[in-house]
């Protein structure tokens, strides 16, 4: 069994979009795949199908039911804030150990497991922990998602350096096209690749949900070529 953690150089840059595309590609290959977003903020129960966990369930071909939401995204908060702040708004706190324990159990759910994080790699999730602490605790490789807006390269390279400093293996940096960006997807990819080597850069244009693209096949190839493991 093998797991990968989908994280970002920031928020709202395409983590769920990429995770769903990877799930769909693995399912097309008839691979047993599971996907989880254990920690979610900005979750509105009245619009669950439009949420990130809802999108993951749709990609998996599963209904957006309360039981399935609890199964893949048990730590859900309403406010669209960093998880520690969103939990505090409800008079709660995020239990880091519980999030890590759930994620470890999830990692044995299928042949290939995708765990999607929240926010960017340095987003606070408790008073003392950020997303990068979560990834490091699991000991799994990361897929780093970046936008293509002006300034995205700085954010991507800073996030990559932070992950590498914590000895997190990075399968690839994904340049997920930012709608309306003044920087083209191809230019962004070429520029990033000069600084990320040997970590590959994979560019994905903005597509409608469920649309196949060769970039997802490339990501699936990277994922499937990894020796199966769970630490």
Tell me the domain boundaries of the chain. Answer: 2-224
**Whether the Cβ atoms of residue 111 and residue 30 lie closer than 8 Å to each other:** no
Mean pLDDT of 103-109: 94
Give per-residue pLDDT as tens, 178-211: 988 888 899 889 999 999 999 999 999 987 766 7
Q: For residues 103 and 61, give the distance between their C-alpha atoms in angstroms, rounded to a whole number.
A: 21
pLDDT at 44 (0 to 100): 97
Tell the residue number behind the tokens 């807006």, with chain if given: 149
Write down the CATH number for the domain with range 2-224.
3.40.50.300
> Of 8, 25, 35, 37, which one is the catalytic site residue?
37
Q: Binning pLDDT at 50, 70 and 90, where does residue 1 land?
A: low
No. of helices (H) and no. of strands (E), the chain: 9, 8
Residue among 103, 106, 110 at smallest CA distance from 30? 110
For the cut 60, the answer to whether the pLDDT of residue 229 exceeds it is no
| Percent over 70 (pLDDT), the chain | 96
| Secondary structure (3-state) at 143 | strand
Q: Measure the N-to-C terminal CA separation of the chain; round to a whole number of Å.
A: 10
Give per-residue pLDDT as tens, 55-92: 999 999 999 999 999 999 999 999 999 999 999 999 99
Instruction: Verify whether residue 15 is a known catalytic residue.
Output: no
pTM exceeds 0.85 for this model: yes
**Whether the Cβ atoms of residue 11 and residue 120 lie closer than 8 Å to each other:** yes
């Amino acid at each position: 069994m093998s797991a990968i953690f989908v994280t970002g150089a920031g928020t709202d840059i395409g983590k769920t979009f990429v995770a769903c595309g990877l799930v769909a590609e693995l399912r097309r290959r008839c691979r047993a795949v599971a996907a989880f977003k254990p920690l979610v903020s900005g979750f509105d129960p009245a619009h669950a199908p439009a949420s990130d966990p809802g999108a993951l369930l749709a990609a998996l071909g599963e209904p957006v039911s309360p039981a399935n939401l609890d199964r893949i995204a048990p730590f859900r908060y309403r406010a669209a804030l960093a998880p520690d702040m969103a939990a505090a708004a409800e008079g709660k706190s995020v239990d880091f150990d519980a999030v890590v324990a759930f994620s470890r159990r999830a990692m044995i759910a299928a042949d290939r497991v995708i765990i999607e994080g929240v926010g960017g790699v340095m987003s606070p999730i408790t008073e003392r922990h950020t997303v990068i602490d979560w990834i490091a605790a699991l000991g799994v490789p990361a897929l780093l998602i970046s936008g293509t807006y002006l300034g995205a390269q700085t954010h991507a390279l800073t996030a990559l350096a932070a992950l590498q400093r914590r000895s997190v293996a990075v399968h690839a940096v994904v340049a997920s096209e930012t709608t309306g960006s003044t920087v083209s997807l191809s230019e962004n990819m070429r520029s990033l690749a000069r600084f990320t080597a040997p970590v590959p850069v994979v560019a994905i244009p903005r597509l409608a949900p469920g649309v196949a693209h060769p970039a997802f096949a490339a990501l699936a190839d990277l994922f499937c070529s990894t020796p199966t493991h769970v630490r």
